[in-house]
Chains A and B, each alone.
Chain A
Amino acid sequence: MMRVWLGLAWAGLVVLPWYGLEAPLRAISALQPEALPALWQGRVWLWPLAIPLLMAIPGRPRLLALSGALGLAWLCIEGLAIGHRGWGAPWLGALFGAPGPTQPALGWGAAVYALSCVMLAAIGLARQGWCRGDVFVLGSLLLVVGLIVLFVGFPVVSILTSAVRDNAGGFAPDLFAEKLFNSSIWGLDCLVGTHACGVAWNTLAQATLVGVLATLLGLAFALAALRTNLPLKPLLRLLSLLPVITPPFVIGLALILLFGRAGVVTNFLALHFDIPRSRWIYGMPGITIAQLLAFTPIAFLVLVGVLGAVSPSLEEAAQTLRAGRWHTFRTVTWPLIRPGLANAFLISFIESLADFANPLVIGGNFNVLSTDIFFAVVGAAHDQGRAAVLALVLLAFTLTAFMAQRAWTGSRSYTTVTGKGDAGLSAPLPGPLRAACYATVLPWLVLTVAVYGIIMAGGFVVTFGRDNTPTLDYLWTAFSIERGVGGWFLSGSGWRSFITTMELALIATPVTAALGLLTAYLLNRQNFMGKGAFEFLAMMSFAIPGTVIGISYILAFNVPPVELTGTGLIIVISFVFRNMPVGIRAGIASLSQVDRSLDEASQTLGARSFRTLRLVIVPILRPAIVTAMVYSFVRAMTTVSAVIFLVSGEYNLATVYIVGRADVGEYGVALVYSAVLIVVMAAVLAGISAVVGRQKIGRRGMLAADQPVVVQA
């Protein structure tokens, strides 16, 4: 084992090209010196990398652990100290003389070397008795931590450092303070004067409004589904899946077509009731409706779980004690679902904070943090420092809400279904409440159906609302296939982004699921120091808004030592680390249902942890694996906020392409493309459930209270 990793480490130094991830083969064929392995580079600072490998002696575990650590440490130090244009920090230049040596970005050799060092350290530590001497556990633990530090921690730190610098790169704390406390972020003029309020307050107000309304709507739906005899359940189940497979911004688009100044409903009202046309939908009202359409199903899923866990026998007891329906609801049901309400509120709140696409499409002049971050980077003003500051503010908001949510749901259990004698029937709702439920649910259902009707049909008419002649022009523009000289080829403008999206999503899917479930296994089955911190780190990437991830990836990975911008790899990585928490939650939820005695039995029979994992746990986790794979695929297909910063000409993505079309007003193409995406994803979902057994996915989608909650940001 140890010899294998040691050999790989040597291979990384002596055989593989040390620099350059992009097309290393081409570089080798051109005999570029950068493509040479580290030790043949003639770069003196790479030679010490061999020392730890000479130190690694099989019989000396302490030395082995040390050598792995030293190798990694020197790799980080030399990588950060020597950039592609000389010294990585000005003080090094002052010390050793500018401009200093240069080196390009690390490549495959460096990656293999780093991985081997991690494994050598793990072997060394395991042989000293850490983690009961289990190399597999220790190795995966160090690996996951290393990856999270590199792809979550390092970018966030880059944002922090970029926030305190000016545009030229100098250290400027005054500028940072000025930017942080700028009135455009924190101004409260809208309360007293007629100026617009600061963007931070806008964002908070928007998120609070959406959080409250989504929770109430979700509650109404949950009550209607579980406590009335409305024949809604199959429909609700379908509707709760829809937002997952909807590209996030098309809801805003559909709302414009319905309620915009020239929208269908507006036209109708203006023609028949003489109600003047207005642009009321642009801004807070539009964002609120769009986000409610997207996030209510999540609140619904949470609340259905909680409401389903309220034991009918308690309510029956109350009624036996002669409490009326209303009294029962108020004193028994309501207190029991309160934590669920808080949870639903916080999740909707976080999602609204992070939502990028809807404010972009329908926000009008109403600014929120996520879009402001985007414009600070891409706008002509181009102020990365400001973008970083805004990102920090947004990050502070989401992390606070995230921690509040964990504190709420972590320590309390309000579950009353015990499995013992639960034969009762749930109390019917009090009359007024039932009426209120119907009055909310039915119009909302009509709106949802109208919105999705437009999304599916809007791309197949000339101009929705103006000229409803059916046409296939937009479909043809985006997805035409022509026969040319060299045979059939895909000539539509959407093919390239569509295929790239499928490819990258399919690469990311197994990696995301594997990494997520491995992490879940470590968290659920192993005990180690700093487990709480590890869990927090792993789940945190879920709370980091996509725009923040996007900007931080640009800041961290545009220049050596790790240079990834413009590649497909960076998009895959952003998919993996944004969606991994879904796999973690699904894995933990399943693992906690499996008794540890199974693992112990396997281990008693002499299997080590890897074998146990492979033969005992993975087969049991099958539904969780499917959940994780499905969701990471679908999320990768529909995400826009992070990747809009990361796409390039070669690697453009479907969602970014659609946003671009919508941005210049070509709604036909945008809608047709979205409809195609929705159909494809629905087919993938149906296909996977047909292959691996539909029932389990179905039940998870509806009932599990700690179901991984999935939405787009």
Chain B
Amino acid sequence: MSGPTSRLRMLAVAAGLFGLAALVPRPAAAQGSVVIYCGVDEAWCRAMATTFEKQTGIHTDMTRQSAGEIYARLRAEKDNPRGDIWWGGTGDPHLQAAEENLTQDYKSPQLGQLRDWAQRQAERAKFRTVGIYLGALGFGYNKEDLARRKLAAPACWADLIKPEFKGEVQMADPNSSGTAWTMLATIVQLMGEEPAFAYLKRLNANINEYTKAGAAPAQSTGKGESLIGIAFQHDLIDVAKRNFPVQVVSPCEGTGYEIGSMSLIRGARHPEEARKFYEWALTPEAQKLGALNRSYQIPSNTATPVPPEAPDLSRIKLIEYDFATYGSSATRTRLLGRWTSEVKNAPR
């Protein structure tokens, strides 16, 4: 047998051995494991998973996806759930999942320590979910770009449909992003459905792209790929904190907000560990990890310090967001269908 052939064989054997090593089931931690579907920023997700693993010895298996994707996943897997707990992401899909009985009801002993909006979120879902943070909607503009164009700074939702912003506004697609769905629901609640769709149609002329992820418009605005981006204020603040010229705006008409939530998945394979994670995630110690990882939402436990970077709720006009109506499947399906056919697919 010639030299190269035997070397080739060695190569194949080495590859095979390496492969076999990987096929052998990974050692399961003695403390069990928990599969987390995480709906917030990657860094925060990772910090939550690793800190929990460090403190409890429970092996964590974390997947980060947008809230809409996780909801879709839960539905796809409902006959055979793979995840144990769904942590984070905007509250509406959590409410929808609760309504469709995809998640498990559970009353935490810590419920009393939570801010009232977090408790109300739990009540709405018959305790199938619970609020873990609050984030206000808004938009941001690129200061440098605006100065260069010598345009007046937008301050209200109404400013965004001005003709000078044609092709300059970016938002996510509400079909895939919880952020954009919150914006759609906010506009409908602020203006009433018919005027809201008239507004959205005019806004459509100014939109340069409907992105998939909710935080993408904030990033684009920071990089100057878009002049204005509609997003949650904490996402915009995060971009601004990284030295991008972004000014965060809280719209003058008032704005909606999300209640980031957490749900136990029904039929989970590791219900015990999931509950442990649930309890741990409500503690101030765990909630502090948000600000440490540049996520500046308002945490739900009253004992958790509010990060100084978080939007000051006293200076924001929050609307009375009707989560019961706008978190229900029926309303959501109807409004999304209408938005897709009348706004997104409309002529430009």
User: Interface residues, chain A, CB within 8 Å of chain B?
Assistant: 22-23, 25-26, 84-85, 184, 193-196, 256, 260-262, 278-279, 282, 360, 364-365, 375, 377-382, 384, 463, 466-467, 493, 503-504, 506-507, 509-510, 554, 558-559, 563, 565-566, 568-569, 619, 622, 625-626, 629, 647-650, 652, 660-661, 663-667, 688, 691-693
Shortest Cβ distance from B8 into A: residue: A692
Complex contacts, A381 vs chain B, CB 8 Å: 175, 336
Structural contact, A84 and B79, CB atoms closer than 8 A: yes
Interface residues of B in 9-28 (CB under 8 A from A): 11-12, 15-16, 18-20, 22-23, 25-26, 28
Complex contacts, A559 vs chain B, CB 8 Å: 79-80
Given A379-B72, A379-B175, A506-B19, A648 and B63 contact (CB-CB distance below 8 Å): yes
Is B5 at the interface (CB under 8 A from chain A)?
yes
Given A84-B80, A649-B63, A382 and B75 contact (CB-CB distance below 8 Å): yes
Shortest Cβ distance from B332 into A: residue: A380
Is B82 at the interface (CB under 8 A from chain A)?
yes
Structural contact, A380 and B62, CB atoms closer than 8 A: no
Structural contact, B72 and A377, CB atoms closer than 8 A: yes
Structural contact, B219 and A282, CB atoms closer than 8 A: no
Other CB < 8 Å A-B pairs besides A380-B332, A568-B22, 4 of them? A381-B175, A382-B76, A667-B223, A692-B7
Structural contact, A665 and B63, CB atoms closer than 8 A: no
Please classify how large the interface on chain B is, using the bins under 10, 10 to 19, 20 to 34, 35 or more.
35 or more
Structural contact, B18 and A691, CB atoms closer than 8 A: no
Complex contacts, A282 vs chain B, CB 8 Å: 208-209
Chain A nearest CB from B218 CB (Å) reads 8
Structural contact, A563 and B61, CB atoms closer than 8 A: no
Shortest Cβ distance from B207 into A: residue: A365
Q: How far is the CA of A665 from the CA of B175 in the complex (A)?
A: 20
Complex contacts, B218 vs chain A, CB 8 Å: 665
Is B93 at the interface (CB under 8 A from chain A)?
yes
Is B220 at the interface (CB under 8 A from chain A)?
yes
Q: How far is the CA of A237 from the CA of B212 in the complex (A)?
A: 38
Shortest Cβ distance from A167 into B: residue: B75
Chain A nearest CB from B23 CB (Å) reads 7
Structural contact, B15 and A506, CB atoms closer than 8 A: yes
Q: Which 10 A-B pairs have the closest CB atoms?
A: A665-B219, A262-B224, A194-B347, A507-B19, A380-B68, A649-B63, A503-B22, A382-B72, A649-B61, A379-B176
Out of B43, B93, B178, B216, name the residue touching A665 (CB < 8 Å). B216
Q: How far is the CA of A195 from the CA of B341 in the complex (A)?
A: 11
Chain A nearest CB from B307 CB (Å) reads 20
Complex contacts, B226 vs chain A, CB 8 Å: 261, 279
Structural contact, B216 and A663, CB atoms closer than 8 A: yes
Out of A507, A665, A693, name the residue touching B22 (CB < 8 Å). A507
Complex contacts, B285 vs chain A, CB 8 Å: none
Q: How far is the CA of A642 from the CA of B44 in the complex (A)?
A: 27
Interface residues of B in 133-177 (CB under 8 A from A): 167, 173-177
Complex contacts, B223 vs chain A, CB 8 Å: 260, 262, 463, 466, 665, 667
Structural contact, A509 and B15, CB atoms closer than 8 A: yes
- 0/1 interface trace, chain B 64-79, chain A, CB 8 Å (1 if under): 1100110110011101
Is B109 at the interface (CB under 8 A from chain A)?
no
Structural contact, A378 and B72, CB atoms closer than 8 A: yes
Structural contact, A375 and B4, CB atoms closer than 8 A: no
Given A375-B176, A558-B76, A622-B4, A664 and B216 contact (CB-CB distance below 8 Å): yes
Shortest Cβ distance from B218 into A: residue: A665
Shortest Cβ distance from B16 into A: residue: A510
User: In the complex, which of the residues A261, A375, A563, A569 has the most CB atoms of chain B within 10 Å of its own CB atom?
Assistant: A261
Q: How far is the CA of A29 from the CA of B310 in the complex (A)?
A: 50
Shortest Cβ distance from A652 into B: residue: B63
Chain A nearest CB from B149 CB (Å) reads 10
Structural contact, A364 and B209, CB atoms closer than 8 A: yes
Interface residues of B in 32-57 (CB under 8 A from A): 35-36, 41-43, 46
Q: How far is the CA of A503 from the CA of B226 in the complex (A)?
A: 40
User: In the complex, which of the residues A23, A375, A378, A663 has the most CB atoms of chain B within 10 Å of its own CB atom?
Assistant: A378
Complex contacts, A380 vs chain B, CB 8 Å: 68, 71-72, 93, 174-178, 181, 332, 336
Number of A-B contacts (CB under 8 A): 165
Chain A nearest CB from B184 CB (Å) reads 11
19 pairs of residues in contact across A and B, judged by CB atoms under 8 Å: A261-B224, A278-B167, A382-B72, A382-B76, A466-B223, A493-B42, A493-B46, A509-B15, A510-B16, A558-B77, A558-B80, A568-B22, A568-B23, A569-B23, A622-B8, A649-B36, A649-B61, A663-B212, A664-B216
Structural contact, A378 and B28, CB atoms closer than 8 A: no
Q: How far is the CA of A652 from the CA of B63 in the complex (A)?
A: 8
Given A196-B345, A375-B176, A566-B82, A510 and B225 contact (CB-CB distance below 8 Å): no
Q: How far is the CA of A56 from the CA of B57 in the complex (A)?
A: 52
Complex contacts, B215 vs chain A, CB 8 Å: 664-665
Q: How far is the CA of A622 from the CA of B11 in the complex (A)?
A: 13
Out of A279, A360, A648, A693, name the residue touching B167 (CB < 8 Å). A279
Chain A nearest CB from B176 CB (Å) reads 4
Complex contacts, B219 vs chain A, CB 8 Å: 664-666
Complex contacts, B23 vs chain A, CB 8 Å: 507, 568-569
Shortest Cβ distance from B71 into A: residue: A380
Chain B nearest CB from A683 CB (Å) reads 14
Chain B nearest CB from A155 CB (Å) reads 15
Structural contact, B213 and A664, CB atoms closer than 8 A: yes
Is B222 at the interface (CB under 8 A from chain A)?
yes
Structural contact, A510 and B12, CB atoms closer than 8 A: yes
Given A364-B209, A692-B11, A660 and B225 contact (CB-CB distance below 8 Å): no
Complex contacts, B93 vs chain A, CB 8 Å: 380
User: In the complex, which of the residues B28, B71, B209, B224 has the most CB atoms of chain A within 10 Å of its own CB atom?
Assistant: B224
Q: How far is the CA of A195 from the CA of B16 in the complex (A)?
A: 54
Chain B nearest CB from A192 CB (Å) reads 11
Chain A nearest CB from B236 CB (Å) reads 12
Given A382-B72, A652-B63, A503 and B18 contact (CB-CB distance below 8 Å): yes
Chain B nearest CB from A561 CB (Å) reads 13
Structural contact, B25 and A22, CB atoms closer than 8 A: yes
Q: How far is the CA of A378 from the CA of B70 in the complex (A)?
A: 8
Q: How far is the CA of A237 from the CA of B220 in the complex (A)?
A: 37
User: In the complex, which of the residues A282, A650, A693 has the most CB atoms of chain B within 10 Å of its own CB atom?
Assistant: A650
Complex contacts, A688 vs chain B, CB 8 Å: 11
Shortest Cβ distance from A381 into B: residue: B175
Complex contacts, A568 vs chain B, CB 8 Å: 22-23
Chain A nearest CB from B311 CB (Å) reads 20
Complex contacts, B63 vs chain A, CB 8 Å: 647-649, 652
Shortest Cβ distance from B61 into A: residue: A649
Shortest Cβ distance from A477 into B: residue: B43
User: In the complex, which of the residues B25, B43, B223 has the most CB atoms of chain A within 10 Å of its own CB atom?
Assistant: B223
Q: How far is the CA of A160 from the CA of B75 in the complex (A)?
A: 20
Chain B nearest CB from A164 CB (Å) reads 18
Is B210 at the interface (CB under 8 A from chain A)?
yes
Complex contacts, B209 vs chain A, CB 8 Å: 279, 282, 364-365
Structural contact, A510 and B76, CB atoms closer than 8 A: no
Structural contact, A279 and B225, CB atoms closer than 8 A: yes
Structural contact, A648 and B72, CB atoms closer than 8 A: no
